Structure 1
Amino acid sequence: MNSTFKKTALLAATLFAGSQLMAQSTDTTTYTKDYVQPFSDGSAFRNWSIGLNGGMLSPWTPFRGKQDFVTPNEQWGYGGYIKYQILPALGFQADFLKGHLQGTTPQQPSNLVRYRTDIKYAVDLSANITLANINWRHNQGLIQPYLTVGGGSIAYAPKLSTNDGRRVQYNSDGRNINQFYIPVGAGLKIGLSRGINLDLGYQVNFMDGDNIDGYTYGGRNDQFSYAHAGLEFALGKSSKPQLANHNPVSSMRTEYLSKTNALSNELAQQRMMNEQLRNDLNTTNANLARLTTDTDGDGVFDLNDKCPNTPTGVKVDGSGCPLPTPVTKVYVTEEDKRVVREAIQNLEFDFGKATIKERSLSSLDRVADILTSKNFSLKLAGHTDNVGSAEGNLKLSKERAESVKQYLVSKGANPSRIEATGYGKTQPIASNATEAGRQKNRRVEFTLY
């Protein structure tokens, strides 16, 4: 009895765990794979299925415990069924069961020691109620707990064993006993694939009589249980989902979301079209305005003005571009070069910074005078020694060249004629192995043209 109780407890724990898995399983189906439009008829599903199972038959049940014989002996049994699903939560199935029941030690003193009943067949028609496959997120349930209840006919032949080893048939003529019974069960099905389910269940069969063990005691009808495991196979086209696993609530949700998304997309497209029409209208108005607009006031409409924003008073040609002005060529003299060389020699920065030292500013002032008076162009090239990282040296050399440019601009030089570039440590003019060489490499070169 203890072993049977343990098996029953294990089955109950399995059922509980299955219901938890059902609640926690994620929806792995797709819209095109398992979606069925709400209120579709049965032709959209696979309604028929067959199942095969095997397990343990026992005279012990949770409702009666010990029966006419105190010690139950579990025996193997097997069965099958064919089921038709009417609704996602309701189906009807025809069941078949065959096997043996056995027990020892009768309740009251007797010369009997054992019975063994051969169940020739047990057939019944039962309702299968699927639980927990209605939720908001799953088109197809991964795990479906269920309950069954029905009624049927069972044929069996009990044989009794006495103390002296004799075997006695309950019916001396050897005929089978036929009785009505009510099967009540619970279990869960686990979806292994779109058409195959693992079926784990436990069933208690209530007899309409007290002689399935060939022994009458206590005036109560007999019971026996069947704990089983098996496989269920869906019949029909594999492209269709099983109705028993189908979730109509999720299908309605999917339908609602799809239509809502379609409406949202339609509204978004309409807004885009309206925005495009508005942009086209603004573009048309702008093009019309350009026909008579002369923004820079040079006498040429913007539509034909190839040089917009011409300064006021500048003479232009028919395309609105300034007329060429005589160019006075200016040459770089030796004195100009001397001033630049002196500025290079006197140029000093704070250590590791781009700040020009005060004593270097007078030489830079003379370079600024040349740039403003003669409209020269100047290229500034910053360089460093090899101390520090390449990235840091490149940044410092660029900042020092820019610092010189900003100072010259502040003194009136044309910024468009000054180019500042940093080269870091890539172009040394002396060896970086000595301090004197590194000092020469830390420089900003001036190229006047």
Structure 2
Amino acid sequence: MKTWEKILVEASAAWEKETKEEGARVGCALFCIRTGRQAELDAGKLFLPASNNKLWTSIAALECLGKNYCWTTRFTVHDRALCIHGGGDPGFGWEEALIVARHLKKKGMTQLPPVLFLDNSWLTGRPWGTGWAWDDLAQGYGARVESLIMEGNRIIFRAAPEGEASRLSWYPELPSVQVIPHLSWTKARYSDVTVEREGNTHRFRLQGRLSRREPEVSGAVWCGARFFAEVFVETCRHAGILIPDRWEVREGVPESGTRITVEYASRPLSKVLHRVNRDSDNLTAEILLRTLGLEGKGVDHETAGLEVVRETLGKWKLTGPAVYTDGSGLSGYNLSSPRALAELLRTFLRREDFPIFLDSLSLYGVHGTLADRVEEFPAGTTVAAKTGSLAGVKTLTGYLLRSGLPRYGFSLMVNGLLEEENGERLQDMFLARLASFR
């Protein structure tokens, strides 16, 4: 048997013996960039890709939208109203809002008008992806996809590792937020917390176990546009703008003429990709998909974005995903094979924007979702890759680098896990063997 195939088979066999995960399905595709040599283990079979699905979305977005693409949020002041026009900026948050508030004050808005109009019309489709589970929608990773996005449309709850697990602070600090915590500490590596939200409120119930290594959990807000307005009012207060005792929120655009305009452009796509691939942010991936639909088809629904991605892959003569239903991989309907993802990695190596894509991936032990991985590789060797996690699913697709240059490409996919940490153990064992191979 060839040496490369031995790496795949031996790593899988040793892992099954160590973890007792005999029922899990493992597939892997591996290729050498310099020689083109490849090896496979059930690489043509279909797996739930989890967040490896973001690779299809992000690479197509980089190709079709361009590295300098930006999203713009516009603020217009009228006679007795302020209108906020959403443009889908996935990275807009408190700091950005404070910059805008200071600009508005400098231009003459010393007191907030009593009426805030919210123009949330940039996106008109459903605020969630196809196949998202109902019990994901209150979790921070299931945040609503809307034209107006503030702090990822989620609230972060955090406990001090040295204190009580149920003693929480949260960000942004808003008077409308209420928390009912039923939490305890766990020695496990990751937290296991269920987030429930009561109807159209910011009243959250948190139940489960927090890890001291990651003592925080996030909840999705009930309405991104309303949340945007509430946070923006607070940033205006911080900027020294007078806030009326009573103010109201309306949907749409005011009829009176505009007196002041401030526009805020997002960071370019080349940097936004970090949110998608390093941080594995579902909302940002879904914004990319809908933006592809708007720019490519003139339609803001995810279906149009999916068509653009498939057309792009078709131009490159790639197999692509067998089932592709959302941009982020949170859906349980998606199916891809390790072979198809490896083909994508191999093809994009030749594209002009490959360095931007490579830079967007997580780096073992350094940043992103691989920051806490501690596998020791030979000097000058590291791994840049996209992780994926769902219940019973662990996937990893990327490159092994030597002296900063990609030497091997791989896609390793595991479904049917009893313990998700066991999937990470297989990834570590496989990559350690690959890194030591000469």
Name the TM-score class by shorter chain: under 0.3
More strand by share: 1
Provide the TM-score with structure 2 as the length reference. Answer: 0.18
Provide the TM-score with structure 1 as the length reference. Answer: 0.17
- Return the index of the structure with the highest Cα Rg: 1
Which of 1 and 2 has higher RCO (CA within 8 Å, sep 6+)? 2
